[in-house]
Amino acid sequence: MPRLLIAAALLFWGWHTGLWFLALPLAVLAELPAGLRWHWQLELKERQRVADLCTVLILLAGGYLYLNQPRLGMALILLIQWLPALVFPLLAVQLYGRHDGLELSVLFLSLRGDKPQGSESLDLRWAYVLLCVISASMVPPETAWFFPSLVALTFWALSATARQGEPTAERRRGLQRLGVLALAAAIGLGFNVALRWGHDEVELIVQRWMEQWIGRSLDPYRSTTAIGEVGTLKASDRIQVRVYPDSPVNGMLLRTASYDRYVNGTWFTSGSPFEPLPAEDGRVRLGDTTASPAATGLTPADTQQARILLQLKRPQGLLPLPGGTTSIDKLEGADLQRNGFGTLRYRTRGAAAMLGYRVTWGSKPPPLAPPDDIDLRVIGAESATLAQVAAELELADLAPTEALPRLQRYFDTEFRYRLELPRIPADQPPLSHFLLQARAGHCEYFASAATLLLRQAGIPARYARGWSVQEYSSLEQAWIGRDSHAHAWVLAWIDGAWRNFDPTPPDWSALEAAERPWTLSVSDFIAWLRLTLSGAANEDRADRNWLLMPLGILILILIWRIARRARRGSRNRRETTAVLPADTSAFAPIEQAAARHGLGRRSAETLKDWAERIAREKAMTGCELEAAVRLHYRDRFDPHGIDTEARARLGAMLATCLRRWR
């Protein structure tokens, strides 16, 4: 292997992964043995412990990344990026020892014991260089120097395959290798550019498809409901939003968007462009930014505060807020925009998994866009049915503060909440079938029907979507909103402000909770553990990852125990030796003891050859191994054998060698 190749591979890895703080010291440690005249002499058992240590490090790192990353794929990518640092102790055993490789029994637990395959050795240096290249290539590099540096590193590695020969022939072979590598680099560069271009195009296509089909619920201008569809609505139970209130609350509605036009099961927002929402001293004010709390009529007793933690699915989305939010604080790493309907859209400036912020809200909502003619419009095939139901309830004869309770009683007493959607006749509008026949449905039915019924009564109303946060988690000490807690309700214009009105029967959350599997508690515990390790749940990040401290201490103790039992010796390297199965020979205990020092007898090596090799390498002094082998051969193969005195001398030699090896 060319000199400094491992260090170059480590620097290449650190450069393209950003792990300079690991790559630099590891590169120095990898090249330090070349200038040392001593080595660490680890027995086979200790080498196996080092491999076990690396396995523990990989498992701990994998578990930590799984708990600390929002997606499993990202955790796997980061784990592969960290592998050169996690397995470096194994490489160090080879570099700082006197072996040209490590036994397979060290690397694989299944080959330990007396299995002959475990005695075969593997040179880790080339495998480690390849691992550095793979780890550095896991994430598309931002720099244009990735491919040229990869080509340079490859040529450096291939230069080790040069054979000795005539100068002319050697130059010719060198030029041939250079030409082949240049051709391969040109072809690879073309594929690299094509793949990056193709990746960007495919990503754009997939993003558009997801926005069209999956991301419609996050569209601030359109909300396609499930009204009229047949089947069962099922959402996952993953926790998406957490609320940590400063004072006791009994659940809340977190609105993400509102809509004012209804057409055949789809709600739309009339054109209201988004405009940047500036922050002043880390605070974003909603409504009149120049007015003080006293000027708005709000007192501390009228306001509440809470910290909200939002699980991010993509870099941008809609920000869930309680009704009447007046200000947002400590929103870091994201920019906000707002439209005239009070919908806030965020765009993160990084790849964060969580978005945390504090909100202040009160009983007097900040002014939003007042209603217009669209907020009273009822059109479509359902208009006749809506007019009939509104007339039966006499909603038009009631004040808004009286119409809402009557409408709530109507839905609570005569309707049922159901996720199983009934089959609707093709000639009947879905809302008409819901109001007159089925009298059962999910929140989108109730919210859409209530919005249009209030409009029939002359009360401006809008359709709202967001989260119904009404489950308290004692494990997380927070109110949580799951995917299944996505909800729809009504915004009604009452007393000069838009106020929440939830017409869905209140037992809907209990019905959904009854269908959750028992395994949910396990997934909730894993989610809490991931949140704790990430430190996102705490506004003060100083104490994050404290759970890893005991594990780090245990790892350091294990490393110290391994290093303490190692013995320093001369720097002369020896080839990796094999452990032969024990036999009835008097030399078997000595062979096994020598194998623990990496000097065991090889599979095709006789006792005589083994003893001569030990003598040439001066591996053991004070042991007459060659003389003992000669006496042993005479005892076994000489027809006359050896006398009692010689046999006693042989036993003494073997005992001395055994003591020396141990």
The pLDDT of residue 540 is above 60 = no
Q: Specify whether 637 is located in the same domain as 504.
A: no
Q: Specify whether 525 is located in the same domain as 581.
A: no
Q: Specify whether 242 is located in the same domain as 150.
A: no
The pLDDT of residue 211 is above 50 = no
Shortest CA distance to 465 belongs to which of 418, 422, 500, 416? 500
Percent of the chain scored above 70 by pLDDT? 74
Domain boundary at 116, 146, 161, which?
161
Task: Read off the pLDDT of residues 185-205 as tens digits, 9 standing for 90 and up.
Answer: 777 777 766 776 776 667 666
pLDDT at 463: 93
pLDDT at 492: 93
Query: Per the domain annotation, does 544 fall within a domain?
Result: no
Question: For residue 568, what are the β-bridge partners?
Answer: 40
Task: Read off the pLDDT of residues 102-152 as tens digits, 9 standing for 90 and up.
Answer: 888 888 887 777 666 777 778 888 899 999 999 988 765 556 677 778 878
Q: Specify whether 307 is located in the same domain as 398.
A: yes
Query: Across 185-189, 435-439, 451-455, 566-570, which has the greatest mean pLDDT?
Result: 451-455
| Span of 262-266, 460-464, 477-481 with lowest mean pLDDT | 262-266
Task: Read off the pLDDT of residues 254-284 as tens digits, 9 standing for 90 and up.
Answer: 999 889 888 888 888 887 788 888 888 778 8
Query: Per the domain annotation, does 235 fall within a domain?
Result: yes
Q: Specify whether 502 is located in the same domain as 582.
A: no
pLDDT at 295: 43
Domain boundary at 142, 161, 180, which?
161
For the chain, give percent helix, strand, coil, nearest 5: 50, 20, 35
Q: Specify whether 141 is located in the same domain as 267.
A: no
For 203-252, the DSSP string reads HHHHHHHHHHHTGGGG-TTEEE--TT--EE------EEEEEEESS----E
pLDDT at 579: 41
Task: Write down the number of H helices and E strands in the chain.
Answer: 20, 27
Query: Per the domain annotation, does 562 fall within a domain?
Result: no
pLDDT at 448: 92
Q: Specify whether 634 is located in the same domain as 517.
A: no
The pLDDT of residue 212 is above 60 = no
Q: Specify whether 151 is located in the same domain as 72.
A: yes
pLDDT (mean) for 323-328: 88
Q: What is the DSSP letter of 505?
A: -
Query: Across 234-243, 432-441, 453-462, which has the greatest mean pLDDT?
Result: 453-462
The pLDDT of residue 385 is above 80 = yes
pLDDT at 593: 77
Which segments of 216-373 does DSSP mark as H helices, in order?
none
Q: Specify whether 253 is located in the same domain as 337.
A: yes
Tokens of 280: 């002043």
Query: Per the domain annotation, does 583 fall within a domain?
Result: yes
Strand 261-263 vs strand 38-41: parallel, antiparallel, or unpaired? unpaired
The pLDDT of residue 517 is above 80 = no
pLDDT at 214: 42
What is the spatial distance between Cα 305 and Cα 308, in angstroms, rounded to a whole number?
A: 10
Q: Specify whether 529 is located in the same domain as 584.
A: no
Residues 6+ apart with CB under 8 A from 307: 243, 244, 330, 356, 357, 358, 359, 539
Q: Specify whether 323 is located in the same domain as 425.
A: yes
| Span of 192-206, 315-329, 401-415, 526-540 with lowest mean pLDDT | 192-206
Query: Per the domain annotation, does 198 fall within a domain?
Result: no
Query: Per the domain annotation, does 333 fall within a domain?
Result: yes
Q: Reading across the β-sheet that carries 283-285, which strands appear in turn?
A: 283-285, 325-329, 354-362, 303-311, 239-245, 478-482, 471-473
The chain-wide mean pLDDT, for the chain, equals 78
What is the spatial distance between Cα 24 and Cα 1, in angstroms, rounded to a whole number?
A: 20
pLDDT at 96: 84
Query: Across 279-283, 493-497, 578-582, 599-603, which has the greatest mean pLDDT?
Result: 493-497
| Span of 319-323, 362-366, 402-406, 597-601 with lowest mean pLDDT | 362-366
Query: Per the domain annotation, does 559 fall within a domain?
Result: no
End-to-end CA distance of the chain: 34
Which residue segment(s) compose the domain that 613 sits in?
A: 577-661
Triad 200, 353, 134: Cα angle to 5°: 55
Confidence of residue 180 (pLDDT cuts 50, 70, 90): confident
pLDDT at 580: 41
Number of domains composing the chain:
3
Element at 310 (helix H, strand E)? strand 303-311
What is the spatial distance between Cα 158 and Cα 162, in angstroms, rounded to a whole number?
A: 8
pLDDT (mean) for 45-58: 87
Query: Per the domain annotation, does 194 fall within a domain?
Result: no
Q: Specify whether 591 is located in the same domain as 529.
A: no
Query: Across 166-180, 379-393, 634-648, which has the greatest mean pLDDT?
Result: 379-393
